[in-house]
Structure 1
Amino acid sequence: MSSATEHAAATDIEAIKREGLTGRQLRLARRVAQTNDLPATSDFDAVRLLRLRGIDPFKRANMLELVVPQGSKTDVATTPSADRSQVAARQPLPQTSPVPAPAGRPSPASADPMSPAERRNREIRSIQLDIARRRRRKMALLGARLGAFVLVPSIIAGYYYYAVATPMYSSQSEFLVLKADSTGASGFGGLLSGTQFATSQDSIAVQAYLQSKEAMRRLDDEAGFRAHFTQDWIDPIQRLDPDASNDDAYSIYKRNVKIGYDPTEGVVRMEVSAAEPAVAAQFSQFLISYAQEKVNHLSEQKRADQVGDAEGALRLAEQQRREAQSQLVKLQQQGAVLDPEGVIASLRSQINTFELQLQQKRLELAALQDNARPNQAKVEGTAADVKRLEFLIRELNERMTDASQGENSLASLSVQIQMAQADLATRDMMLQSALQQVEQTRMEANRQVRYLTTAVEPVPADTPSYPRRFENTILAFLIFSGIYLLCALTASILREQVSS
């Protein structure tokens, strides 16, 4: 009975060996047998004992890396995919020592003419050949992808730059927006008046204007920008269609007109490209003239606003002075006298003079009357003089009373004339101040004038500046390489995420 059992065990082990189990499966079977305390002498014996116990050690085989030896005919249902079986075929299987056969019976290993060492060497050589074959296939696929997505586009780009692209001639120019010297500036504004920071906003405004559609349309109307780039001998990529829209023309304009502002130096650098060197220089001259007109317009508007306000104040002061002078003349004509105060002073002086004469006559009359026998003729004459003086003084007092009282009195008229004269003097001072303000405003406006000076004049080029064949070809190669690398990394990450 013992010999029959051992013979059956050997037969089962040989059948299990022919199944082509992987090393990972055998190790898993040994661990399961150890867990169930089965006395397994080898990995294959562990599989046999587990099957006799009714335990399937490979119930999670679809989640494992299965290796199927090349040339073995096994059930592929235990493998998740053909790729995993090929990867697993490169792994050497663990070999177990043959179970000693009972006495008087030949060993099962004696039926195989090859020794275990030869079998292992053959399997290792087969695995190495398979690895080399797969490596060559992957390298061929990688080369094909690089050629299709990197080399071929780079060659096409290089062919375009070297053989098809129309040479473009560029014209370099530099100009500055400066401010007039301000001798009266002081403080922080005086410190910045002579630097580029005083005109940085104007320079930025000029740069924005030259890069706008308005400048492009004006250049097209005056210099024929669209007509130049619609010529047939220009390559299709750089050529502009005759029926193209303004947006398409503007894209060509931005590509060929490059303007940059350097805030550290305050210089505006402009590069204009065209298919002919003379045309490029002509376009640069036109754009510089547009920039100069723009600078003049910006400073002119500011000066007009300042001077306009000052001149409006001057006109108002002149009108008010004229009204004050007219009022003074009207008051002087109303009283029929030019100087009411002089009239009043004259009346007062006359009254004082006649009062002194009256006093003298009264004293003389008193002296005559003191005589015992006065001269009657002199007394009567002196008395008549006294009466005449009294009558004259009374008339002068009445005139003085009329001049000092009433709405139309000389005193009231004198006060009104004095007020009119004071108002006229005030208007004269305001007019003088307005005149000074106008002069100062004009001087300040002249100091704030911006003007454009050309540091580098545009000159026609002798050799084409674009395209830069070698640099552009290398740049195209780097761009295509970066795109391919980005796509490959993205695809690899997505495959890893899906497989996990």
Structure 2
Amino acid sequence: MTSDFDAVRQLRKQGVDPFQRANVLDLVTPSDAQAKSTTGQMQAATAKMSPAEARVQLPQTVQRQQTLPSTQVGAGDNPADRRAGEIRRIQKDIAKRRRKNIIALMGRLAMFVFLPTLAAGYYFYVMATPMYGTHSQMVIKQAASTGGGGLGSLFQGTGLATQTDSTTVQSYMTSLESFIRLDADHGFTEHFSDPNIDSIQRLASDATRDDAYDVFLNHVQIGYDPTEGFLKMEVIAANPAKSQEFSEALISYAEEQINQQTLRVREDQMSGAQETYAAAKSRRVEALAELVSIQEEVQQSDPLAQSAALQQRITTLEIRLDDERLNLASLLENSRPNAASLSATESEIGLLEDQIALLRGELSGGNGGSLVSNNARLRQAEENYVFQVTNVQATLMQMDTARIEATRQSLYLTISVPPIAPDSPTYPKAFENMLLAFLIFSGIYLMISLTVSILREQVSS
């Protein structure tokens, strides 16, 4: 209902006249008891009512209370002002918390980054003992080959040909054996145990050999450049003279190591060639002795010529024998041959046959052996002697070749930059070290912060 008139209209539309009391009572149809009670109560109430109250009351409209904010408010209750105040309060709270976070961050940075960096800078600028670094540069070269060619000669004398030798020498110069020699010869441990050196760089008096070796590795820096084949070395010491002394000692150790690397190869090559040459010479001497012994035994200086002479004499006698035999045959053809001529011819034939037999005996078995066997023995001895002479010449050439090869295998350490003691301290590099310390501490702090943040997020989730 929107008004009193609307309420009356709706009641009359349903057949109820709100201005008639009977009609109003007819709307209610209670039971008899209730009707009686209700009628009594209504009569009593009507009797008690005043005339003004007893008049008929029409339905009244209900005033709906508006719950919307009123525009009639005071100046202090303005929503815009209230929102601005809330925003200012939130901004102040955020700024306060931001200041607290920044202060806490700066405190942590100061504790874990700035203070350690300042302490490191104080050490490098004030407390650290100046150190002197002596630089040197060397290269290992191989003797040039006098002959040959091919692929191996392309790299002859270059860094590629001596790369393995260079790395071997580098390893030896930083080895424990090299440190022991340097300490025994030049007092490396004693030098770094000097009380004038600051406590951080100083070697303790009761330090072990391994501790001293660690100091040696930190103060002797050797690098190899494979592109050019150079060995670069820097030796650091608290005294420039000592730094140069240590460098020169290590270079001498390197030279000894290079010589020892090729000494065995060269000795093996030369010893083999020398043994072969000595054995060939010995066999030549034995062959010559055997030849002389056979010549003395048969008493023949030239058996071939003697055999040829005997053979020629036998041939001559055989020709004369044939002539005498022909002469004898011609005498025997006569019916009455001359007895004296026949006897002389027969005697001559006998003498020729005896002489031929004697010469043949000398040719086949005279003087304890046949001339043929003696000739064969002499020829064999001569051939053996000639062979041994040829063998000695071949081994001599082989020994010369081995000597050349051994010379080619030789390695040489050439010092391109000699060690010279510096005038001013090389270390510590205070600014670079301080910057490095700052970066290290910053990195450690950043890693720890990220780890804590990740763990906190995982726990809170």
Q: TM-score range by the shorter chain?
A: 0.7 to 0.9
Q: How does 1:416-455 map to 2 (within 5 A)?
A: 416-455=377-416
Match in the other structure for 1:155: 118
- Could you say if the C-alpha distance between residues 338 and 183 of structure 1 is closer, same or farther in structure 2, counting changes exceeding 3 Å? closer
Once residues 108 and 195 of structure 1 are traced to their aligned partners in structure 2, the CA distance between those partners, rounded to angstroms, is: 99
Q: Distance in 2 between matches of 1:252 and 1:265?
A: 29
Q: Is the 8 A contact 2:362 2:371 kept in 1?
A: no
Structure-to-structure mapping, 1:163-202, within 5 angstroms: 163-202=126-165
- Give the whole-Å Cα distance in 2 for the aligned partners of 1:463 and 1:395: 109
Which deviates more from structure 2 when the two are superposed, residues 476-485 or residues 122-131?
Answer: 122-131
One of 202, 207, 224 as aligned partner of 1:244: 207
Deviation at 1:139, TM superposition (A): 0.9
Residue 433 of structure 2 is aligned to residue 472 of structure 1: yes
> What secondary structure is seen at the aligned counterpart in 2 of 1:415?
helix
For the pair 1:482 / 2:443, whether they are aligned, the reply is yes
TM-score normalised by L of structure 2 = 0.78
Q: Spell out, residue by residue over 1:190-241, the C-alpha distance to the aligned partner (whole angstroms, 9 max, x if none).
A: 2221322222222222211111111111111111111111011100111001
Deviations 1:276-296 (A, max 9, x none): 111111111111111122222
Instruction: Output the CA distance in 1 between the equivalents of 2:402 and 2:329.
Output: 79
Which of 202, 225, 230 is matched with 2:188 structurally? 225
Distance in structure 1 (CA, Å) of the matches to 2:387 and 2:410? 35
Matched-pair identity in %: 44
Structure 1 match to 2:276:
313
Cα distance in structure 2, aligned partners of 1:499 and 1:330: 113
Conserved 8 A contact 1:341-1:411: no
Aligned partners of 2:269 and 2:402 also within 8 Å = yes
2:454 is the counterpart of 1:498: no
- The residue type paired with residue 85 of structure 2 is R
Do structure 1's residue 271 and structure 2's residue 211 form an aligned pair? no
Residue of structure 1 aligned with 2:221, choices 237, 249, 258: 258
Distance (whole Å) between structure 2 residues aligned to residue 264 and residue 104 of structure 1: 100
- Which residue in the other structure is 2:89 paired with? 126
Q: What SS class does the counterpart of residue 196 from structure 1 fall into?
A: coil
Q: Is the 8 A contact 1:324 1:420 kept in 2?
A: yes
Tell me the distance in 2 between the aligned counterparts of 1:367 and 1:104.
199
Give the structure with higher Rg (CA).
Answer: 2
In the alignment, is the contact (CA less than 8 A) between 1:258 and 1:272 conserved in 2?
yes
| TM-score in terms of structure 1 length | 0.72
CA distance 1:458–1:355, shift in 2 (3 Å): same
Q: Runs of 5+ in structure 1 lacking a partner? A: 1-101
Rounded Cα–Cα distance in structure 1 between residues aligned with 2:460 and 2:379: 108
Deviation readout 1:55-99 (Å, 9 max, x if unpaired): xxxxxxxxxxxxxxxxxxxxxxxxxxxxxxxxxxxxxxxxxxxxx
- Note the C-alpha offset of 1:497: 3.0
Amino acid at match of 1:154: T
2:321 maps to which of 358, 365, 368: 358
Corresponding position of 1:68: none
Which residue of 94, 97, 100 corresponds with 1:137?
Answer: 100
Secondary structure class of the residue paired with 1:187: coil
Structure 2: 5+ residue stretches without partners? 1-61
| Distance of 1:496 and 1:104 partners within structure 2 | 54
Q: Which residue of 2 aligns with 1:291?
A: 254
Count of residues in correspondence between the two structures = 396
- CA–CA separation in structure 1 for the residues paired with 2:301 and 2:89: 139
Cα drift, residue 158 of structure 1:
0.2
Aligned counterpart, 2:178: 215
1:67: which partner in 2? none
Q: Aligned with 2:151: secondary structure?
A: helix
Q: Is the 8 A contact 1:358 1:386 kept in 2?
A: yes
Q: Partner amino acid for 2:276?
A: A
Deviation at 1:370, TM superposition (A): 5.4
Give the aligned CA root-mean-square deviation in angstroms: 2.8
